[in-house]
Structure 1
Amino acid sequence: MHLILSLLKELKHAKGIFIAGLSLLLLATAGGQLAPLLLKNIIDQDLTGLSNGLVLHHADFLRKLAIYMGLLVFAGLFRYGSFRVLIACANQVVTNLRNRAYEVMQRLPISYFDDKPAGKIATRIVNDTETLRNQFYNTLLSQIVITLIQVVFIYGVLMTLDVKVGLILLLLMPIFYGLQVLYKKATDKPMKDFYDARSDVNTLVNETMSGASIIQLYHQEEGVLKNFDQVAGKMRAADDRVVLVDSIASWTLTELLKYTVIAGILTFIGYQFLGGNLAVTAGQLFIYINYITTLFDLLGMLVRQLPNIQRSLATGRRLMELLNEEQEVDADAALEVTDGVVEFDDVSFGYDGEHQVLKHISIHANHGETVALVGHTGSGKSSIMNLLYRFYDPQEGQITIDGQKISDFSRESIRSQMGIVLQDPYLFTGTIASNVTMDKDDYSDEEVVQALEKVGAGAMLARLDKGIYEPVVEKGSAFSSGERQLIAFARTLIANPKILILDEATSHIDTETEEIIQKAMEVVKKGRTTFIIAHRLSTIQNADQILVLDAGQIIERGNHDQLMRLGGRYAEMQKIQQKV
């Protein structure tokens, strides 16, 4: 119940639209349900009088018919208007929820994503909000609210006409509630099976698209098709069970109950007529049959729609959990960097706060120096950079830039001073120019070309018909890994950062391209503090400092010549790579 109230409170973000839609709905319901009362009056007065030989007053009769038709048109227009407005209300509420969820995701600490796949987070923001829109807010506002208001209005009219009839018909409420409970129980499992099978179908389609070449090379087409048929068959079978239950519970049983009640009313009135004790007029009989028929249709709709509301609560719970996640606290002060002197002072850190992955790390990188971090996988190289980015804060020690403790400044201002090239370069859909400038208008075409040429991408530009405006699609799949890396380097260079970080930046580049980048980097590194994480030791031989890490500790430090003379771990790694 708390969750439902939380979701209903979200309507405050579209309060004006909701009130307008509700007002239109009340007017439409009043017009639509009062129209049969006018028809009852026509039947009992004008038509009954005519059958008894009385003179029909045509002007009065036509006026009543015009009012009746006007009420129907009025109700139809207002109902259409209320439907459109309430749907707009639902869309606005869900848009607000989606935007807030996206904003919260941006402010969550990086540690939140350590054990959560990116797909799950995306599902919360995209799929869960869409499910809430379709199965909760749209259903609630465009169907449940409309239906409930009509049901209440009909019961009010019936109570006004005859209290006994109204009270008797109230017995339908527990019957339909029981039907709704049975319907939900009967459809819960097949609905779960359907969504599970749909998820499996999506997974199979993605795997087939990603692994199309492997499937064809190993002649697995028939096996893949057979597997797909089986999973799609489960999806169809689950959907068939839902349709069967839906047709029985919400149509067959509802219709049976409806016509049973109508038959009972007609039988009772028939016995009264035969006994000469008829207390119901033709108009009253019409109004009872009309309202009872409408009442059954509305209650039957509730049986079908309420389970959808209940099922959507699972997605609502997941979304609310994301919205209520504790967000990252950040400082307001902006870091200003002049020299880019970086210092780690006896820093220790663990991702879970208990098991340390970095132990007593001390680094001092002067202005313009290049510091290389080497070591086997899991030695702590990337963790050091994560602390420098302020993705995490250390449990012990402190990190400073130009003598300023970075924990006292906003993360955005710290990262704005850094140029980062990662191991796997990511290109966005757009053009080469938009990827280099990151869609900023601060750079001219000449600056973009110059940045690309500095990293050795001149040959790539020469072969492209559209130059820097060559389209980039599908993460840059039309370009080689080396070309993607060159574009990523140019992206970093044009930003002119004070601190440069290369995280395995040359691991996917061939020897020839590596040589081009190495020459360009020697120019680019001048005047900047540079950190390099590298497995290829040939790329860091000119570094001012080389730090060798093992199990989260710095076990060797010095330049290339010093470490080779030391004959320790670094020298051993060099010999192994030279043999390879």
Structure 2
Amino acid sequence: MIGKQIIDVISENVKQNQPVSYEFLIQKFGWFMLITVISALTSYSSFLLFAFASNRVSKNIRDQAHEKMQQLPISYFDDKPAGKISARIVNDTEVLRNSFYQNFSNQVLINLLMVIGIYIALFLVSPDVGLALLLLLPFFFVWQLIYIRIATPINKNWREIISELNSLTAEIIQGVSIVQLFHQEEKMLEEFEEKNQAWLDNRIRSIRLDGILSWDFSTFIKNIVMFFLLLYLGTQFTSGFLGYSMGTIFILINYLSSLFDPILNLVRIMPTLQQALASGERVFELLDEAIETDSTQPLAFSNGEITFDHVTFGYDEQNQVLKDIHFKVNPGETVGLVGHTGSGKSSLINLLFRFYDPQEGAILIDNQPIAKCNRESVREKMGIVLQEPYLFSGTIASNVSMQDQSITDEMIIQALEKVGAHPLLAKLPQGIHEEVIEKGQSLSSGERQLIAFARTLAKNPKILILDEATSHIDTETEAIIQNAMNVVKEGRTTFIIAHRLSTIQQADQILLLDQGEIKEQGTHAQLLALDGQYAQMYRLQAKSAQG
């Protein structure tokens, strides 16, 4: 409007051969500079506001996603690669922050305000032109619906491919030694290149769509509308009906150009929005996952008595992996679980930890059905050493204490010494404060296993589970651990999933599982006297050891 007034005054003064008032020009220039400064400050403030807000929102969403991940049942992770889940928590929330909360929200607000302001100004200058230009809004609305319908599956597929690339890369890194040992480098490269090519093909489809519907076409529409406006003004002028001043003509053309800029910005930002929505959908799918319902009733541990009362379980209801399992373990007893791969040994332990609940029967600890107790309280007094010990980045001390502030350095050292890890401590310059790289790769498998044992012992559990914990260590280390366990398992109920039958010969009872059923039960001597599957397995291992 200021430009219109300046042009009209100057043109009128020139027409009448009158001088232009410098006071008028300075006044209008002052208003123009004031509006320009206010606009710049508003733009800068909105950028800071949305930048701070978007980063805060992104952090909160990432925190919620991480928290939700830890609340999900173990079954959620059964068929999902770790890379895909981490991509949702880290990568997708970053896309959501950058593409939506910061850039999109900021741009949409500014451009919408500009569109509204320009339409108001157009109606004040020329209601006819303003009304005619309102026809652009339904056109652009339909245009966006078409774009969204085509772009949504493309962008969803794009985020899925990125997740698969993350998973494939993580898998290759974790198994790099096996890849090189079996000369699988070319095959892994082919798989990665194939997935990467799928990513490129997806991006090319997206670029073509954006080029047609977001850039070239939008500029074409702008030029067409500008042509019709000039045609209208020209027709009015040649017919002698033009009632617009030079300033009004200038401001109409300027407003039309200014109107298209924010509208086209809104159109062109749609690819960013679609990418953000694709990422947001994946993040909110994770946030919307149903968590396990849990009881508020705590499990009160007393002496560690365990009863499996006719338990039947399957990871899906059609395929049972445990069938009518029934046995009792008295406090302080050691139970050996043996059987071929897939017989149900690990599933039995998963039920004891309440990672899953049985479809039939009940599991009782100290005469309390654990299905009616809070999961955290069930696991609080349990310790486990897995076949493949997992060490976190940090120190030996942090891996033993697991950040439990009540476990002192003296308790950590004592736990390590009990499991026979004093030679390990003696060779480390910083002792228990020695740095541990990812997964403890600088340590031998036996040393990692000793640290895992110490971690469990430092927790001082009532119930101890050893999941084939001696299968990856040498005979000498096994003897050290076995001797330590004979001391520390006193007063604890212990389950040992055993591959080497020598580790369970002193067990109070041994359960031989086969296809989810207890086929044989008794002490080592009783099962040898039975001369069944256990005795056969024992003879085969003894023969193998002698050979």
* TM-score when normalising by structure 2: 0.89
Post-superposition CA distance 1:351-382 (Å, at most 9, x none): 32454322232222222211111111222211
State the AA in 1 paired with 2:286. L
State the AA in 2 paired with 1:304. R
Partner residue of 1:368?
A: 332
Bigger shift: 105-114 or 67-76?
105-114
The structure 1 residue matched to 2:254, chosen from 290, 295, 300, is 290
Post-superposition CA distance 1:147-170 (Å, at most 9, x none): 223212212221222221012112
The offset of 1:254, in angstroms, is 2.9
In 2, are the aligned partners of 1:90 and 1:141 still within 8 Å (CA)? Answer: no
Bigger shift: 251-260 or 195-204?
195-204
The offset of 1:551, in angstroms, is 2.1
The offset of 1:532, in angstroms, is 0.7
State the AA in 2 paired with 1:431. T
1:145 paired with 2:109, answer yes
The structure 2 residue matched to 1:512, chosen from 473, 476, 479, is 476
Bigger shift: 270-279 or 436-445?
270-279
State the AA in 1 paired with 2:455. R
What is the CA–CA distance in structure 1 between the aligned matches of 2:371 and 2:168, rounded to whole Å? Answer: 45
What is the CA–CA distance in structure 1 between the aligned matches of 2:275 and 2:330, rounded to whole Å? Answer: 59
What is the CA–CA distance in structure 2 between the aligned matches of 1:383 and 1:310, rounded to whole Å? Answer: 43
Shift of the 191–345 alpha-carbon distance from structure 1 to 2, 3 Å rule, reads: closer
The structure 2 residue matched to 1:324, chosen from 288, 298, 303, is 288
The offset of 1:508, in angstroms, is 1.2
Question: Tell me, what secondary structure is at the counterpart of 2:292?
Answer: coil
The structure 2 residue matched to 1:116, chosen from 80, 83, 87, is 80
What is the CA–CA distance in structure 1 between the aligned matches of 2:484 and 2:267, rounded to whole Å? Answer: 70
Partner residue of 2:263?
A: 299
What is the CA–CA distance in structure 2 between the aligned matches of 1:424 and 1:218, rounded to whole Å? Answer: 21
Partner residue of 1:262?
A: 226
What is the CA–CA distance in structure 2 between the aligned matches of 1:52 and 1:147, rounded to whole Å? Answer: 41
Bigger shift: 183-192 or 98-107?
183-192
Question: Tell me, what secondary structure is at the counterpart of 2:491?
Answer: coil
The structure 2 residue matched to 1:410, chosen from 368, 374, 390, is 374
Gap regions ≥5 residues in structure 2:
none
Question: Tell me, what secondary structure is at the counterpart of 1:364?
Answer: strand
Shift of the 69–124 alpha-carbon distance from structure 1 to 2, 3 Å rule, reads: same
Partner residue of 2:452?
A: 488
1:400 paired with 2:364, answer yes
Partner residue of 1:12?
A: none
Partner residue of 1:471?
A: 435
What is the CA–CA distance in structure 2 between the aligned matches of 1:223 and 1:100, rounded to whole Å? Answer: 38
1:172 paired with 2:145, answer no
Shift of the 150–234 alpha-carbon distance from structure 1 to 2, 3 Å rule, reads: same
What is the CA–CA distance in structure 2 between the aligned matches of 1:446 and 1:295, rounded to whole Å? Answer: 73
State the AA in 1 paired with 2:264. G
The offset of 1:230, in angstroms, is 6.7
Shift of the 223–101 alpha-carbon distance from structure 1 to 2, 3 Å rule, reads: closer
Bigger shift: 462-471 or 173-182?
173-182
1:177-256 equivalence runs, <5 A: 177=141, 179-180=143-144, 202=166, 205-206=169-170, 209-210=173-174, 235-236=199-200, 238-240=202-204, 242-256=206-220
1:449 paired with 2:413, answer yes
1:66-105 equivalence runs, <5 A: 66-105=30-69
The alignment yields a C-alpha RMSD, in angstroms, of: 3.0
1:7-18 equivalence runs, <5 A: none
Question: Tell me, what secondary structure is at the counterpart of 1:500?
Answer: strand
Bigger shift: 544-553 or 95-104?
95-104
Bigger shift: 123-132 or 150-159?
123-132
What is the CA–CA distance in structure 2 between the aligned matches of 1:102 and 1:49, rounded to whole Å? Answer: 70
Shift of the 238–555 alpha-carbon distance from structure 1 to 2, 3 Å rule, reads: closer
Bigger shift: 376-385 or 254-263?
254-263
In 1, are the aligned partners of 2:155 and 2:278 still within 8 Å (CA)? Answer: no
Partner residue of 1:335?
A: 299
What is the CA–CA distance in structure 2 between the aligned matches of 1:165 and 1:59, rounded to whole Å? Answer: 33
The structure 1 residue matched to 2:312, chosen from 342, 348, 354, is 348
Post-superposition CA distance 1:510-563 (Å, at most 9, x none): 111111111111111111111111111011111111111122222222111111
The offset of 1:415, in angstroms, is 0.6
Question: Tell me, what secondary structure is at the counterpart of 1:465?
Answer: coil
Shift of the 560–207 alpha-carbon distance from structure 1 to 2, 3 Å rule, reads: closer
What is the CA–CA distance in structure 2 between the aligned matches of 1:379 and 1:296, rounded to whole Å? Answer: 70
In 2, are the aligned partners of 1:44 and 1:282 still within 8 Å (CA)? Answer: yes
Shift of the 275–409 alpha-carbon distance from structure 1 to 2, 3 Å rule, reads: closer
Shift of the 223–516 alpha-carbon distance from structure 1 to 2, 3 Å rule, reads: closer
1:161 paired with 2:125, answer yes
What is the CA–CA distance in structure 2 between the aligned matches of 1:280 and 1:498, rounded to whole Å? Answer: 92
In 1, are the aligned partners of 2:83 and 2:163 still within 8 Å (CA)? Answer: no
Shift of the 47–87 alpha-carbon distance from structure 1 to 2, 3 Å rule, reads: farther
Post-superposition CA distance 1:274-322 (Å, at most 9, x none): 5665422222122212211122122222222234434544444444443
Gap regions ≥5 residues in structure 1:
1-36
Shift of the 247–392 alpha-carbon distance from structure 1 to 2, 3 Å rule, reads: closer
In 1, are the aligned partners of 2:155 and 2:274 still within 8 Å (CA)? Answer: no
What is the CA–CA distance in structure 1 between the aligned matches of 2:111 and 2:373, rounded to whole Å? Answer: 55
Bigger shift: 443-452 or 491-500?
443-452
Shift of the 539–217 alpha-carbon distance from structure 1 to 2, 3 Å rule, reads: closer
1:533 paired with 2:497, answer yes
The offset of 1:496, in angstroms, is 0.9
What is the CA–CA distance in structure 2 between the aligned matches of 1:332 and 1:58, rounded to whole Å? Answer: 81
In 1, are the aligned partners of 2:84 and 2:167 still within 8 Å (CA)? Answer: no
Count residues with an aligned counterpart. Answer: 544
The offset of 1:248, in angstroms, is 4.9
1:503 paired with 2:467, answer yes
Bigger shift: 410-419 or 267-276?
267-276
What is the CA–CA distance in structure 1 between the aligned matches of 2:43 and 2:354, rounded to whole Å? Answer: 55
1:281 paired with 2:245, answer yes
The structure 2 residue matched to 1:382, chosen from 346, 356, 373, is 346
What is the CA–CA distance in structure 2 between the aligned matches of 1:122 and 1:567, rounded to whole Å? Answer: 50
The offset of 1:331, in angstroms, is 1.8
The offset of 1:484, in angstroms, is 0.8
Partner residue of 2:515?
A: 551
In 2, are the aligned partners of 1:139 and 1:309 still within 8 Å (CA)? Answer: no
Bigger shift: 517-526 or 165-174?
165-174
Shift of the 51–514 alpha-carbon distance from structure 1 to 2, 3 Å rule, reads: farther
Shift of the 285–480 alpha-carbon distance from structure 1 to 2, 3 Å rule, reads: same
In 1, are the aligned partners of 2:510 and 2:524 still within 8 Å (CA)? Answer: yes
Partner residue of 1:573?
A: 537
